[in-house]
Structure 1
Amino acid sequence: MDGASSSGRNARPGQAASPVGLGRNASNYGDPAFALYLRRSFAKSMGYSQAMLDKPVVGIADTASDYNNCHRTIPELIEAVKRGVLAAGGLPMAFPTISICEPSLSPCSMHYRNLMALDTETMLANQPMDAAVLVGGCDKTVPAQLMGAISSGTPSVMLVVGPMLAQAFEGERLSACTDCRRYWARYRAGEVSDEKINTLEGKLATTAGTCGVMGTASTMACLASTLGFMPLDAASAPAVHADRLRIAEEAGAQAVRLIQNPVSPLSLMTQGNLDNAVRVLLSLGGSTNAIVHLAAIAGRAGLSLDLKRLDALSEETPVLVDLKPTGEGYMEDFHSAGGMRALLWELRDLLDLSAKDLDGRTLEQRLGDGSHFVDRRIIRARAEPVSPVGGLVALFGSLAPEGAILKRSAATPSLFETEARCLVFDGLKDLSDRIDDPDLDVTPQDILVLKGAGPRSPAGMPEAGYLPIPKKLARQGVKDMVRMSDCRMSGTAFGTIVLHISPEASVGGPLQFVETGDRIRLSVKNRSLDLLVDEATLAQRRAAWTPAPAPKRGWDKLVYDQVTQAPQGADLAFLRAEP
């Protein structure tokens, strides 16, 4: 698409504004021609020629931030996107949105995912652009951008920053953040010295990019490529490889193709494609957070991610990828082993192969003829899986009437069938105050329960579900015990951990009324999670409960008033689409 072919797209003085390029979404002064005249004037103040301003516009969502270490390559990626847009005949226009990074936000990044989605939707829908490239990567940015794109309707290409490389250190490879958690657990247990833990702090993340394991960032990248929002190899190419810049350039060219042949983000969100994404999540041994994010993305398209459906698919879908936190490899190994094309080829008989991508190609066409390379050490054949069943299961019962999640691929099988006394922590402060008390009444057989950390709580549904093993037990050699909460855990974490208990404690779900000494029964076999307390006792506890006061203003109040529970994606209710 050259400049001549789009000449005259934007109206001259005295003409009505054209809804293309800079003519889109004109400011409203009661005079559309003046609005476009004013817009061109300000654009020309930045040195653009009229020939450039006549071209179709590709917006580029820029989420670079000095607070977001994962995104430090974004300026370079945006330059590559611009090359692709210009070469294809478009005008690239980068614009900022908020950027969210897990370690850099209080109370946690999840609390602001919906704010980023709303920001992205607003900028996509109301600035002059014909298509967009969304540049993100860190855990919550990819779902936020896809949610915004679906709601805005703007044809959009996803571009992730890519994973970091692993670092060789004292005879082993390290990469954030599974290794970070592993060493911190050893430090708490007294197995690692202060000197070594301080040295490791500078060895766990040594290149640009997102966590180098199959955590939330890489899981969401794989799911975005499965859904068709970016090429398959774009899910795993390392952040520091030249391939990543070529992928960025192609993203710019693809955005221009979307102007010529528009494909709405909503059109990719079919039930078959959603099932494809769920199966990929299961086969990756991917992050539990992806369930919440997929539910939110689906909700923007009027679809539902049913937990019982997820559980049924989990029984049919093997884990085929051997990466940390459930295996041994890193994302760079997955990429060189064949990546998403090799994985999807193994799953092809379980997938809806008619699902299309942004270029209108079916998944069957995207997979090719099977002649690709695959390294079976990392991507297993169906006949020799890491696990014959999926990595995630849904649990229901009197403690979780609307569901809870357990990542069985990262858990201890001997704890799958547990009935035990529970030790309850009422919020994050109570947890931090008491977990390492040497006089804490706790045994390895107890169930640790954290409540008051769900999506409506002041904590904002943080990654606190990975409750630390009490120091007195860790120093006795205890590596795992059953832990439960209404919050999340990092996709890089591991252990026998029940998450996303719904309804959460803050809205008066059953979890709110659990007390230390109660007995809880977990059964992975029966997919059940039950509080073994009689109804009369629970009724007394409910009658004595007083909810915490609502926030008075700002984003916190909007979240309190509108946030949904985890099975609905913890999105804001007014932003979800009608079924």
Structure 2
Amino acid sequence: MKLRSSEWFENENAELTFQHRSAMRAMGHDPESFVGKPIIGIFNAWNDFNSCNYPHKELVEHVKRGVLLAGGYPIEMHTISTPADFMKPSDLMYRNLLSMDVEESIRSQPIDGVVLLCECDKTVPGQLMGAASVDLPALQLAAGHRSSGSFRGKTVNYGTDLWKYSDDYKAGLLSDEEWQELEKSISCSLGGCPVMGTASTMKSMSEMLGMMLPGSSSIPATHASRKMAAEATGRRVVEMVRENLTPSRLMTEEAFRNAIKLLAAIGGSTNAALHLTAIAGRLGIRIPIESYEEWTEGIPLIVNLQPSGLHSMDDFYKAGGLRKVVRNLLPLLDSDCLSCTGETIGVVYGRAMPGFPDADEIISTLDAPFKDKSGLAILKGNLAPSGAVIKKSAVSPELFKHRGQAVIFDGYEEMLDRIDSDDLDVTAESVLVLRNCGPVAMGMPEWGSIPIPEKLLKQGVRDMVRISDARMSGTSYGAVILHVAPEAVIGGPLAIVQDGDWIELDLERSSLRLDLSDAEIASRLANWSRPEPMHKRGYPRLFAEHALQAPEGCDLDILRPNNKEEAKFVPPIVGRG
């Protein structure tokens, strides 16, 4: 086969070939070592702020070894990273920038295949979006989840337990000394969150889409098998170049349907609705927002992990990990979809597995699930004409159907200033509403899990209905309605809700209504004025001007093809650099 890199290093134009080979020699790359071999770009997304991705500083060497053993030539490259703990106001907008970094770095340079080193929430989808846009053979390798911590004799997990203990601290059930002790003990190793948050969810989605080696998504960061998976990933991507096994052959419409079904079965993050839609969109595949509910009808929760359950990712791995989940779910999946091994998922995940003691407590079967209700409910009504999402498995059952009066916060800073005030007019039946936090307004930060007011926490309240046009961490839980579209800042109905208005949630009917007449809503919108844009320059302004709404995945309109034909890879023009 003719390698793409040969356009640089074996070109008929002798001057170009001389230029490119000479540039490689300057860095110690002898043409005899790489010409005629698949050149594998290894895209590393670690930095000193990103504890989730930091293991890739070492793992990359194992990937390189695998590439060399398979007869390829590894070239390590670096992209921006998206450390969710630090990026303000939102790492979501930088997901798209990361995807552009990946896409253009691949498109413009002599690369035949790609390994994408990921972990922290937005690196997984951002890399997949970029890889989908150029459609060269590609595989992801995750850094793995961090270990659980220990606090006062109890296992604690960064993410879900943080939110629970934070409520206890605000309620006066945890002292300042205990709070500081928790800080020191909850996150004591490198890797992603050890629960089924967005990082674990998106790794699972990547494996289901055929973009990660089977069984590799749930290996802990500290386990030796993670290094072996790194080497195997390097070997396999070289073979994929020779087979021309590209993302468009793996990430098909049927594969996305499988991934959405898996999302329900694992109780995955609401953020996946944005990311899967955005990844599919790069391939010219449209996923209507309603599909997240329609395709998962009747699929139960079969994974007992935080935030929807009790256990950690360490427990999940010991119980058989994602391989066992997919095996149990196979009767409901399209088993003819391809894995990155080149085999169908029916063959790969249908193979017999060893028994795991007490594993059914963590990974159950379809016949005896952990919870009957799972997946995302897509809520529609006059408050969210284009839709909103809520994770059914994380909602307190008594709030599946609820009617309450709105308590409005016009922005995040206002919410923080007022939420714990003794003067806040709020009860357990109130509906907390946060607006002006959507993609155009603020880049859609994880502000949607509005804190329970302190005075209600002291009364024992631990869940209440909350609504916003923002996102929330995949490690969060509760009756939290997110991604309301259209968002408030562009004139969605959320913009005109007033304190005291009645709001009705009916999860069984997938309904979210503002108890006002159409005429009253229209009148209020007619008198509403759009606020001045927050961002005046640079990438945040570009994002605000081109970001699609949540049901379209919040990708940039300039990055999304109109159809599958437009999605096909266009090679660069090779000429003088």
State the AA in 2 paired with 1:447: V
Aligned mates of 1:475, 1:32 — CA distance in 2: 76
Deviation at 1:32, TM superposition (A): 4.4
What does 1:529-568 correspond to in 2, within 5 Å?
Answer: 529-550=512-533, 551-568=535-552
Deviation at 1:313, TM superposition (A): 2.7
The answer for the alignment partner of 1:470 in structure 2 is 453
Deviation at 1:388, TM superposition (A): 1.9
Aligned mates of 1:426, 1:229 — CA distance in 2: 40
Task: Say which SS state the counterpart of residue 314 (structure 1) adopts.
Answer: coil
Deviation at 1:322, TM superposition (A): 0.4
Q: Pick one of 292, 300, 321 that aligns with 1:339.
A: 321
Q: Which moved more, 1:549-558 or 1:120-129?
A: 549-558
Q: Is the 8 A contact 2:45 2:81 kept in 1?
A: yes
Aligned mates of 1:21, 1:107 — CA distance in 2: 43
Does 2:8 match 1:23?
yes
Does 2:90 match 1:108?
yes
Residue 246 to residue 295, structure 1, CA distance change in 2 (3 Å) = same
The answer for the alignment partner of 2:400 in structure 1 is 416
Task: Say which SS state the counterpart of residue 504 (structure 2) adopts.
Answer: strand
Does 2:158 match 1:160?
no
Aligned mates of 1:237, 1:491 — CA distance in 2: 19
The answer for the alignment partner of 2:53 in structure 1 is 71
Aligned mates of 1:99, 1:323 — CA distance in 2: 27
State the AA in 2 paired with 1:230: M
The answer for the alignment partner of 1:526 in structure 2 is 509
What does 1:86-125 correspond to in 2, within 5 Å?
Answer: 86-125=68-107
State the AA in 2 paired with 1:51: E
The answer for the alignment partner of 1:12 in structure 2 is none
Q: Which moved more, 1:228-237 or 1:210-219?
A: 228-237
Deviation at 1:178, TM superposition (A): 0.7
The answer for the alignment partner of 1:436 in structure 2 is 420
Deviation at 1:368, TM superposition (A): 3.2
Residue 62 to residue 44, structure 1, CA distance change in 2 (3 Å) = same
Deviation at 1:552, TM superposition (A): 3.1
Task: Say which SS state the counterpart of residue 115 (structure 2) adopts.
Answer: strand
Does 2:241 match 1:256?
no
Aligned mates of 1:557, 1:537 — CA distance in 2: 33
Q: Pick one of 462, 484, 496 that aligns with 1:513.
A: 496
State the AA in 1 paired with 2:525: R
The answer for the alignment partner of 1:14 in structure 2 is none
State the AA in 2 paired with 1:464: W
Aligned mates of 2:117, 2:461 — CA distance in 1: 42
Q: Pick one of 456, 473, 476 that aligns with 1:490.
A: 473
Aligned mates of 2:179, 2:83 — CA distance in 1: 23
What does 1:166-185 correspond to in 2, within 5 Å?
Answer: 166-185=148-167
**Highest RCO, 1 vs 2 (Cα 8 Å, sep ≥ 6):** 2
Aligned mates of 1:535, 1:248 — CA distance in 2: 57
State the AA in 2 paired with 1:239: A
Offset from partner CA, 1:194-251 (integer Å, 9 cap, x none)? 1111111111111110000000000000110011111221110001111000000011
Aligned mates of 1:240, 1:198 — CA distance in 2: 25
Deviation at 1:548, TM superposition (A): 2.1
Offset from partner CA, 1:429-461 (integer Å, 9 cap, x none)? 11111111111111111000001101111x211
Task: Say which SS state the counterpart of residue 93 (structure 1) adopts.
Answer: strand
Aligned mates of 1:538, 1:169 — CA distance in 2: 50
**C-alpha RMSD of the superposition:** 1.6
Task: Say which SS state the counterpart of residue 40 (structure 2) adopts.
Answer: strand
State the AA in 1 paired with 2:89: P
Task: Say which SS state the counterpart of residue 361 (structure 2) adopts.
Answer: coil
The answer for the alignment partner of 1:447 in structure 2 is 431
Q: Pick one of 302, 320, 324 that aligns with 2:284.
A: 302
The answer for the alignment partner of 2:572 in structure 1 is none
Q: Is the 8 A contact 1:21 1:56 kept in 2?
A: no
Q: Which moved more, 1:159-168 or 1:310-319?
A: 310-319
State the AA in 2 paired with 1:43: M
Q: Is the 8 A contact 2:151 2:186 kept in 1?
A: no
Deviation at 1:360, TM superposition (A): 1.7
Deviation at 1:372, TM superposition (A): 3.6
Q: Which moved more, 1:182-191 or 1:547-556?
A: 547-556
The answer for the alignment partner of 1:15 in structure 2 is none
Does 2:296 match 1:325?
no
Aligned mates of 1:417, 1:25 — CA distance in 2: 67
Aligned mates of 1:506, 1:25 — CA distance in 2: 53
Deviation at 1:290, TM superposition (A): 0.8
Structure 1 gaps, min length 5: 1-5, 10-17
Does 2:205 match 1:223?
yes
The answer for the alignment partner of 2:191 in structure 1 is 209
Task: Say which SS state the counterpart of residue 70 (structure 1) adopts.
Answer: coil
Aligned mates of 2:122, 2:245 — CA distance in 1: 24
Q: Pick one of 344, 363, 378 that aligns with 1:394.
A: 378
Aligned mates of 1:51, 1:317 — CA distance in 2: 54
Deviation at 1:389, TM superposition (A): 3.1
Structure 2 gaps, min length 5: 564-577
Aligned mates of 1:24, 1:354 — CA distance in 2: 38
The answer for the alignment partner of 1:3 in structure 2 is none
Q: Which moved more, 1:120-129 or 1:46-55?
A: 46-55
Q: Pick one of 122, 133, 149 that aligns with 1:140.
A: 122
